[in-house]
């Protein structure tokens, strides 16, 4: 399928894991993709891979915790690839399980700056250029099962992901008249470099389906939500969790 032929997409946090899978999926279905990540070398390596497959792609080093960096990412994408159709706000970081009464304010704010403020900046600047070109477009925000439930030792991450769901609903209402859809995706634990080894073994039993999720499975859901097949879908979040939250 080439559901995104002629479309322009940005994926943040795209150098590895879920973000890389999304970038590959969108490119494979015809989109030109801006591969954005704070890590420049792996982002460039993914772009080289995509270009070998005759896909249009650029790498943009971006720290999503800085609004000027996100603004520049969006503006560079429009200048080099064309009008933005799909914005995937995927970049995020985890946190150490420090007791709440010992957690520093800086540790808290670091997670919030990347995981929530970064999504706000992505929504803001994607909406800016989408509205400027006459409307239309899709914004996909990467939340988590921890936007629905809590997790011991991850208060900032949980708060940020809950915040993404509220942000998604509010801006979906605001942007609907401009024809811009805004949705969120809520993965459980996905087999990525961040979820491996002893951590993967510890969280695997939490999934009734009996395994961790795969990045390509999340990418498939994102591709559906970004496509015209989901044209009546906005303001909602979608679990992809192997039954985690059904318990």
Domain boundaries, the chain: 8-242
Token pair of 202 as six digits: 């510890």
Q: Residue 147 burial by CB count (10 A; 0-12/13-18/19+): exposed, middle or buried?
A: buried
Question: Nearest Cα to 61, choosing from 129, 9, 13?
Answer: 13
Q: Using an 8 Å Cβ cutoff, are 220 and 181 in contact?
A: no
Please tell me the distance from the alpha carbon of residue 196 to that of residue 170, in angstroms, as a whole number: 35
Please tell me the distance from the alpha carbon of residue 211 to that of residue 150, in angstroms, as a whole number: 20
- Lateral strand order in the sheet of 180-187: 57-61, 32-37, 8-11, 86-89, 137-142, 180-187, 237-240
Average pLDDT score over residue span 3-8: 97
> Does the pLDDT of residue 29 top 90, yes or no?
yes
Which pLDDT value is given to residue 150? 95
In order of 58, 91, 235, 239, the CA distances from 84 in angstroms are: 14, 18, 20, 26
In which band, very low, low, confident or very high, does the pLDDT at 119 lie, cut at 50, 70 and 90? very high
CATH architecture of 8-242: 3-Layer(aba) Sandwich (3.40)
Token pair of 188 as six digits: 């459980």
Q: What's the whole-model pTM score?
A: 0.97
> Does the pLDDT of residue 200 top 90, yes or no?
no
> Does the pLDDT of residue 192 top 90, yes or no?
no
Token pair of 179 as six digits: 């024809």
Residues marked active site are found at 157
Residue 238, H or E segment: strand 237-240
For 10-21, the pLDDT digits (tens) are 999 999 999 999
Which pLDDT value is given to residue 27? 98
């Amino acid at each position: 399928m080439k559901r995104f032929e002629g479309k322009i997409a940005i994926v943040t946090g795209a150098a590895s894991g879920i973000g890389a899978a999304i970038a590959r999926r969108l490119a494979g279905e015809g989109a030109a993709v801006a591969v954005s990540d704070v890590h420049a070398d792996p982002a460039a390596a993914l772009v080289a891979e995509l270009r070998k497959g005759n896909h249009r792609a650029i790498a943009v080093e971006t720290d999503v915790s800085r609004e000027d960096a996100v603004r520049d990412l969006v503006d560079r994408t429009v200048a080099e690839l064309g009008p933005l159709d799909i914005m995937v706000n995927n970049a995020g970081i985890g946190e150490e399980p420090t007791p709440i009464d010992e957690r520093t304010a800086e540790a808290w704010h670091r997670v919030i700056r990347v995981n929530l403020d970064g999504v706000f900046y992505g929504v803001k600047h994607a909406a800016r250029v989408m509205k400027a070109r006459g409307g239309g477009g899709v914004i996909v925000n990467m939340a988590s099962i921890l936007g629905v439930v809590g997790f011991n030792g991850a208060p900032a991450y949980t708060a940020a992901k809950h915040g993404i769901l509220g942000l998604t609903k509010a801006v979906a209402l605001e942007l609907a008249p401009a024809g811009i859809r805004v949705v969120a995706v809520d993965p459980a634990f996905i087999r990525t470099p961040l979820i491996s080894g002893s951590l993967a073994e510890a969280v695997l039993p939490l999934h009734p389906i009996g395994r961790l999720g795969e990045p390509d499975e999340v990418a498939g859901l994102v591709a559906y939500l970004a496509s015209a097949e989901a044209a009546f879908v906005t303001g909602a979040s979608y679990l992809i969790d192997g039954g985690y939250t059904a318990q």
